[in-house]
Amino acid sequence: MSSVHLIHHGNIAELRLDNPAKMNAFTVAMLDQLAGHLDAITRNASVAAVMVTAVGDRAFCTGADILGWGDIGPAEFARHWVRDGHRIFDRLARLSKPTIAVLNGHAFGGGLELAAACDIRVMTPKAALALPEAGVGIVPGWSGTQRLLRLLPEPMVKEMALFGNRIKADRALACGFATAVDDDPRAVALALLERAVTLSPRAVEISKSMIHAAQDEDKAAMIESLGSAAIAATDDRAEGVAAFRDKRTPNFSGK
Active-site annotation holder among 14, 133, 159, 217: 133
What is the pLDDT, as a whole number, of residue 43?
95
Residue ranges of the chain with per-residue pLDDT less than 70: 66-81, 217-222, 224-226, 228
- Based on the fold, state whether residues 114 and 162 are members of the same structural domain: yes
Q: Give the chain's domain count.
A: 2
Strands 59-61 and 12-18: unpaired
| Run of H or E including 7 | strand 3-9
What is the pLDDT, as a whole number, of residue 154?
96
Task: Supply the Cα-derived Rg of the chain in whole angstroms.
Answer: 20
Nearest CA to 132 out of 96, 101, 108, 156 is that of 108
What is the pLDDT, as a whole number, of residue 255?
80
Q: What CATH number does residue 10 fall under? A: 3.90.226.10
Nearest CA to 115 out of 63, 45, 161 is that of 63
14 is catalytic: no
Which residues, in sequence order, are CB contacts of 139 under 8 Å at separation 6+? 133, 145, 161
- DSSP, residue by residue, 87-139: HHHHHHHT-SS-EEEEESSEEETHHHHHHHTSSEEEE-TT-EEE--GGGGT--
Answer yes or no: is 64 within a domain.
yes
Answer yes or no: is 53 within a domain.
yes
- Based on the fold, state whether residues 162 and 222 are members of the same structural domain: no
* pTM score, whole prediction: 0.87
What is the pLDDT, as a whole number, of residue 86?
84
Task: Answer for the pair 8, 14: CB distance below 8 angstroms, yes or no.
Answer: yes
Answer yes or no: is 221 within a domain.
yes
**In angstroms, rounded to a whole number, what is the distance separating the alpha carbons of residues 107 and 61?**
5
Active-site annotation holder among 113, 205, 217, 224: 113
**In angstroms, rounded to a whole number, what is the distance separating the alpha carbons of residues 174 and 170?**
6
**In angstroms, rounded to a whole number, what is the distance separating the alpha carbons of residues 26 and 235?**
49
What is the pLDDT, as a whole number, of residue 72?
60
- Based on the fold, state whether residues 178 and 215 are members of the same structural domain: no
- Based on the fold, state whether residues 16 and 94 are members of the same structural domain: yes
Task: Answer for the pair 59, 23: CB distance below 8 angstroms, yes or no.
Answer: yes
205 is catalytic: no
Answer yes or no: is 95 within a domain.
yes
Answer yes or no: is 255 within a domain.
no
What is the pLDDT, as a whole number, of residue 100?
98
What's the domain range around 218?
201-246
Interval 178-204: pLDDT, tens: 999 999 999 999 999 999 999 999 899
- Based on the fold, state whether residues 162 and 210 are members of the same structural domain: no
